[in-house]
Amino acid sequence: MKNRGFLILGSLVILVGGYAAYDYWSDHHDSNLKAERSRLVKFDKDQIQDVILSRGTDKIHLQRTQEGWKITEPI
Q: Three-state DSSP class for 46?
A: coil
Q: Mind listing the pLDDT tens digit for each residue in 48-59?
A: 888 888 888 888
Q: How many residues does the chain have?
A: 75
The residues facing 59 across adjacent strands are: 54
Whole-structure pTM value: 0.47
Q: Give the model's confidence band at 16: pLDDT under 50 very low, under 70 low, under 90 confident, else very high.
A: very high
CA-CA distance, 23 to 66, in Å (whole number)?
Answer: 43
